[in-house]
Amino acid sequence: MKNYLKYIYLLAFITVAYILLPVMNADYLYTIQDNNVFISGHTFMMDTVQHEGGWFAWVARYLTQFFYHPWLGSTILILFWVTIYWVSIWMFGIKDKWSFLALVIPAILLYHLLDYGYWIYYAKLPGLPFQPTLLVLSCLLFTGAVMLLTRRLKICWKWKGLIAVGLLGVILYGSNLLWPSSVWHYNYSFRHSIQTTFDKNFRHELRMYRALDEFRFDDVFQEMPTDQAEMPTNLMVLYKNIALMHTGQMDKMFETGNCGIKPELNDSLHIRTSQLGAPLIYYLFGQMNYSYRWAMENSVQYGLSFRGLKMMTRTAIFNKEFEVAAKYLTMLKTSTFHRKWALEHEAWMMNSISFYQSQEYLTIAPLLNESGNALDGDDGLCEQFLMDYFTDLDRANSQLLEDVTMCMSLWAKDYYAYCVHFYDYMQRHSHSPIPMLYQEGAILLGNADESPITLENFRFDDIVANKYNNFVQDYNQLQQQGIDEAEMGRRLKPLYGSTYWWYYYFYNDFNIY
């Protein structure tokens, strides 16, 4: 039995690794791949090897591509770890019963990979799943080579030491790790973030992003928590609202939960929506320039990525900047797994009819407001910018844009903007039923002091009017009892949590990040 222990340990490790990687964290690995880039050709190779990580970075970037299929990437990575295991046993002559010690390094590498959490958007470590593994394996192989060499040449320990130091220097130089500027790229605090990797909301965000990216809007809704006790993140709420918007249900935004939180991270990282998803968010709101901007900014600051290249391509096609789109497509066409995407988009570029008939164009086109350009800035706060932009928009030339301006005004709790949009809406849709949300907004406004809305002009559904009266009654009752606002919110949530009124009065922690 003893002789089989090393196989049993290894098998156990492989099983755990598969469970933790492709089974539990497929979306995480896919996102890591999406934030990576590998472009065939001399220019990219030279650009990579002259930076931190050098040749290791180039190889690691190449291998990271395979996480496009998480099982494939995981298998390759696990094979490297198995090699580390066997080399360690061979080099250190580890006995069978102690062979589990040879799994310490692979286990640390596995932990290291899962430990990134939100850092996958920020860490400046190209090919991050593979680079540490490649370095460790190289150092082990080098040590083994030194041992073999010195054993054969029968040289003394002094020379062994010198050879070892020399060869180690060559490896480190090859990886550019001896470069002083490289140090800070590895100097990020990723302690405790492993909690994030197993955080449900983090994983929901990853899946929602991918679903939006692939225009699978219905899949986005499945990621919202069903349990009222679980709070989604602000980003999840935004993703959900985008999906509602593109499925014609934006007026359901408060019904489906519109209160989010900022993820609490126990490390030094300050996450921003601008890095987590701004290019796609802006794109899906038809804001091509700002989408391009953030794809570019993130590429500059945190490294070029397939995700960034694809977003820059998409916006360039929408903006009819075909030469620059062609440049990005040429790069994407050299990749193993994004080539198909590139060819599809190249076909759109070459044939405008197929582009204008595509789901992507038809989905976004109604948001391309043809009114004037604005010179502005978002200060890195994508959500705030979108609220302000659409709330202030004075002309909605499509049904979708009309809904967006109404809902954004409500979301931003902007009375007067909502009033303007509501009157416009009622003029255009005087003979149609008013969506419940818009009635809720108007009733709330109409009953406010110095309200710009005269309620008598509109006919609201009895069910809405009665519910509002009940809400006011319950609210006043609790207030008279001297109950504080937070507790009032908790008590009224079961009855009114899906209304705009509850959001308006009790959701004040709008922590935009």
Q: In the complex, which residues of this chain contact another protein (CB under 8 A)?
A: 39, 41-44, 51, 180-181, 183-184, 187-188, 287-290, 292-293, 296-301, 304, 319, 321, 323-324, 326-327, 330-331, 372-378, 389
User: Would you say 51 or 246 has its CB closer to another protein?
Assistant: 51
How far apart CA 115 and CA 197 sit, in angstroms, is 7
Least distance in angstroms from the C-beta of 131 to another protein: 18
Least distance in angstroms from the C-beta of 328 to another protein: 9
User: Would you say 231 or 381 has its CB closer to another protein?
Assistant: 381
How far apart CA 169 and CA 176 sit, in angstroms, is 10
Task: Kindly state the tokens that stand for 28.
Answer: 């995480």
- Within 10 angstroms of residue 195's Cβ, the number of other Cβ atoms is 14
User: Would you say 99 or 291 has its CB closer to another protein?
Assistant: 291
Phi, psi of 130 (to 5 degrees): -105, -25
User: Would you say 51 or 240 has its CB closer to another protein?
Assistant: 51
Least distance in angstroms from the C-beta of 330 to another protein: 5
Least distance in angstroms from the C-beta of 210 to another protein: 25
Least distance in angstroms from the C-beta of 379 to another protein: 10
In sequence order, the β-bridge partners of residue 423 are none
DSSP 335: S
Q: What is the dihedral of CA 264, 268, 273, 276, to 10 degrees?
A: -100
Least distance in angstroms from the C-beta of 343 to another protein: 16
* Torsional sign, CA 38, 39, 42, 44: negative
How far apart CA 187 and CA 189 sit, in angstroms, is 7
Residue with tokens 């995981």: 74
DSSP 457: G
User: Would you say 81 or 282 has its CB closer to another protein?
Assistant: 282
Angle, to 10 degrees, between the axis of helix 70-92 and the axis of helix 104-114? Answer: 150
User: Would you say 211 or 288 has its CB closer to another protein?
Assistant: 288
Least distance in angstroms from the C-beta of 296 to another protein: 6
204: nearest Cα among 229, 218, 222, 185 = 222
Least distance in angstroms from the C-beta of 25 to another protein: 27
Least distance in angstroms from the C-beta of 283 to another protein: 13
User: Would you say 25 or 299 has its CB closer to another protein?
Assistant: 299
How far apart CA 368 and CA 370 sit, in angstroms, is 6
Task: Kindly state the tokens that stand for 65.
Answer: 């591509």
User: Would you say 232 or 277 has its CB closer to another protein?
Assistant: 277
User: Would you say 74 or 274 has its CB closer to another protein?
Assistant: 274
How far apart CA 385 and CA 381 sit, in angstroms, is 6
> How open is the CA angle 156-158-164, to the nearest 5 degrees?
105
